[in-house]
């Protein structure tokens, strides 16, 4: 970040960016944790080297007296802000200061801004696995999205009460209204980002949750290469924000929407839960792997917690009513919604990324699972949590792989439409073949996928043909008339 010459502070102008060449004596360096052991000594050397130094520290394991002593050693004034790095608003205020003498002690324990959901004191009693039973209340983060919306239905069908939190960055509130039509139930909905810890506290204060199903997160392999910072920020920090609030309110049960991408390039097929994890080939997969490791660490050190990690393969299909389905904002990143949008006339043709893989027809092979089967797997996971499982991981798939061209042909048969396509170069991050072994889920969760590729394609086509513009389809459409 550029500085204004002699100023010890920071520019607030968003269009002024720093480059490596800006780092030179006379420029300003921020040191987080700068009152601590290593940080305080670093401040001395930074100042001695001719840079201006600014310090941020929450003083949880240090003392502000160290800054006064640094100033005595260097003969320089060192602006200090008592701000926690978890306090994003406080950090923003530090970065917008342009005058070293501008109330440098004024940023202390910055209070979060008010949200649309009131923030109140957290609860004192904790949930156990046995509290997760029909009639109890389950929070679904990202519950307005593709998988989340279908899971809300199955949660309600199983006798639980459901509450949804979603920031609507890749979903539509209309899905909640349609879920209510399908189930005949009212779904409390809060437009809150999981990064908004104060907003989450407000939601938890209004309901007594027995468990959380965590779907909220960015999920496109290709996009994660282009926006790694956004993926790590949203998926990792968002999950930590959620876990923090869960702990504050004594809600220790979570079903996590993980992914088969945690396996990376598969070392053996079909992959079961013993397959090595962590060799992920994309930022998206790494976020899922890191979250899994966080949950393992938490559950292994605090026996209050129960977590079920559901490693999805490739969810497709739609609710058989045709009321809800996959409706990505912008260009679809996944195969089935792209094919269906071509079939309905929204896209010109399908691009097939590579036909030179070591597969029967040269195109990538994936394990596709009907989204309703996947949603039922989440309800089965609640039963495992009810038994105080501590932490368990399960594959959710069919165990059968289909190539891109096989899916295309099956969709043509289901829709009666010819799907034009072209072969283009491989897409970064794609591996040739992925399919899993779901035997453990069948044994321990008493769950098994029952819908095949034919039903996946038929239900996707029903959804897309009745909703050619997705949830933006006019209320005067044939769908609305038929319900």
Question: 145 and 199 in one domain?
Answer: yes
pLDDT band at residue 13 using 50, 70 and 90 as cut-offs: very low
Lowest mean pLDDT among 108-112, 399-403, 476-480: 108-112
Given a contact cutoff of 8 angstroms between Cβ atoms, the answer to whether 107 and 81 are in contact is: yes
pLDDT score of 115: 38
Which helix (H) or strand (E) element contains residue 412?
A: helix 404-415
Question: 239 and 370 in one domain?
Answer: yes
176-186: average pLDDT: 98
Q: Report which DSSP code applies to 469.
A: T
Question: 241 and 176 in one domain?
Answer: yes
pLDDT score of 114: 38
Given a contact cutoff of 8 angstroms between Cβ atoms, the answer to whether 367 and 313 are in contact is: yes
Catalytic-labelled residue, pool 81, 160, 284, 289: 284
Burial of 475 (0-12, 13-18, 19+ CB in 10 A): exposed
274-303: average pLDDT: 96
429-451: average pLDDT: 95
Three-state secondary structure readout of 121-158: CCCCCCCCHHHCCCCCEEEEECCCCHHHHHHHHHHHHC
Which own/partner pairs from 288-296 qualify as long-range (CB within 8 Å, at least 24 positions apart)?
288/235, 288/258, 288/259, 288/261, 288/262, 289/261, 289/262, 290/236, 291/235, 291/236, 291/239, 291/256, 291/258, 292/256, 292/258, 292/262, 292/393, 294/239, 294/240, 294/243, 295/254, 295/256, 295/391, 296/391
Question: 335 and 474 in one domain?
Answer: yes
Question: 471 and 431 in one domain?
Answer: yes
pLDDT score of 125: 55
pLDDT score of 1: 32
Quote the distance between the C-alpha of residue 248 and its chain's center.
Answer: 21
pLDDT band at residue 222 using 50, 70 and 90 as cut-offs: confident
Q: Domain holding 357: CATH number?
A: 3.40.50.720
Residue 117 has pLDDT above 80, yes or no: no
286-298: average pLDDT: 98
Final residue in a domain of this structure, among 50, 79, 111:
111
Q: Report which DSSP code applies to 181.
A: H
Question: 133 and 47 in one domain?
Answer: no
pLDDT score of 404: 98
pLDDT score of 392: 98
Q: Which residues lie closer than 8 Å to 9 by C-beta, 6 or more apart?
A: 3, 28, 54, 79, 97, 98, 99, 100, 102
Residue 112 has pLDDT above 50, yes or no: no
Tens of pLDDT, residues 345-365: 999 999 999 999 999 999 999
Range of the domain at 7: 1-111
Q: Which residues lie closer than 8 Å to 171 by C-beta, 6 or more apart?
A: 142, 144, 145, 146, 148, 149, 327, 329
| Rounded distance between C-alpha atoms, residue 187 and residue 177, angstroms | 8
160 is catalytic: no
Question: 415 and 310 in one domain?
Answer: yes
Give the torsion sign (CA, 7, 9, 13, 15).
Answer: positive
For residue 347, being part of any structural domain is answered with: yes
pLDDT score of 22: 85
Percent of the chain with pLDDT over 90: 82
pLDDT score of 227: 96
Beta bridge partners of 316: 370
Q: What's the structural domain count of the chain?
A: 2
pLDDT score of 101: 43
Three-state secondary structure readout of 59-122: CCCCCCHHHHHHHHHHCCCCCEEECCCCCHHHHHHHHHCCCCCCCCCCCECCCCCCCCCCCCCC
Residue 198 has pLDDT above 60, yes or no: yes
Given a contact cutoff of 8 angstroms between Cβ atoms, the answer to whether 179 and 149 are in contact is: yes
For residue 385, being part of any structural domain is answered with: yes
For residue 117, being part of any structural domain is answered with: no
Higher-confidence residue: 182 or 17?
182
Question: 84 and 208 in one domain?
Answer: no
Half-sphere exposure of 327 (CA within 13 A, CB side): 28
pLDDT band at residue 97 using 50, 70 and 90 as cut-offs: confident
Residue 8 has pLDDT above 70, yes or no: no
33-37: average pLDDT: 97
Closest CA to 54 of 87, 111, 120, 99: 99
């Amino acid at each position: 970040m550029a500085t204004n010459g002699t100023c010890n502070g920071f520019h607030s102008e968003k269009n002024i960016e720093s480059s490596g060449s800006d780092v030179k004596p006379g420029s300003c360096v921020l040191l987080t944790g700068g009152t601590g052991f290593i940080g305080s000594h670093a401040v001395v050397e930074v100042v001695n080297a001719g840079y201006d130094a600014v310090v941020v520290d929450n003083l949880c394991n240090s003392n502000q007296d160290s800054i006064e002593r640094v100033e005595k050693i260097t003969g320089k004034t060192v602006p200090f802000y008592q701000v926690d790095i978890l306090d994003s608003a406080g950090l923003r205020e530090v970065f917008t200061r342009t005058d070293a003498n501008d109330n440098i002690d004024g940023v202390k324990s910055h209070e979060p801004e008010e949200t649309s959901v009131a923030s109140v004191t957290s609860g004192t009693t904790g949930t156990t696995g046995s509290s997760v039973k029909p009639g109890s209340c389950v929070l679904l983060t990202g519950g307005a999205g593709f998988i989340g919306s279908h899971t809300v239905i199955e949660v309600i069908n199983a006798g639980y009460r459901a509450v949804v939190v979603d920031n609507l960055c890749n979903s539509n509130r209309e899905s909640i209204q349609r879920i209510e039509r399908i189930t005949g139930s009212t779904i409390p909905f809060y437009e809150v980002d999981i990064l908004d810890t104060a907003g989450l506290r407000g939601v938890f204060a209004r309901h007594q949750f027995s468990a959380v199903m965590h779907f909220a997160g960015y999920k496109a392999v290709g996009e994660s290469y282009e926006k790694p910072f956004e993926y790590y920020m949203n998926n990792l920090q968002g999950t930590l924000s959620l876990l923090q609030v869960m702990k504050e309110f004594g809600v220790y049960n979570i079903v996590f929407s993980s992914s088969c991408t945690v396996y990376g390039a598969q070392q053996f097929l079909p992959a079961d839960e013993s397959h090595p994890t962590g060799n992920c080939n994309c930022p998206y997969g790494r976020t899922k792997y890191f979250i899994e490791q966080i949950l393992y660490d938490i559950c292994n050190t605090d026996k209050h917690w129960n977590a079920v990690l559901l490693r999805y393969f490739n969810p497709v299909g739609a609710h058989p009513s045709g009321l809800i389905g996959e409706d990505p904002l912008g260009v679809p990143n996944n195969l089935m919604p792209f094919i269906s949008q071509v079939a309905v006339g929204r896209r010109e043709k399908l691009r097939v990324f590579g036909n030179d893989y070591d597969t029967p027809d040269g195109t990538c092979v994936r394990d596709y699972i009907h989204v309703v089967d996947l949603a039922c797997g989440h309800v089965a996971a609640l039963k495992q949590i009810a038994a105080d499982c501590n932490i368990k991981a399960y594959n959710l798939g069919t165990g059968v792989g289909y190539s891109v061209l096989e899916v295309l042909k099956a969709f043509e048969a289901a829709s009666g439409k010819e799907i034009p396509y072209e072969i283009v170069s491989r897409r970064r991050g794609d591996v040739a073949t992925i399919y899993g072994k779901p035997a453990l889920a069948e044994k321990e969760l008493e769950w098994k996928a029952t819908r095949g590729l034919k039903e996946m394609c038929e239900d996707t086509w029903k959804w897309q043909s009745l909703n050619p513009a997705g949830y933006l389809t006019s209320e005067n459409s044939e769908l609305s008339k038929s319900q």
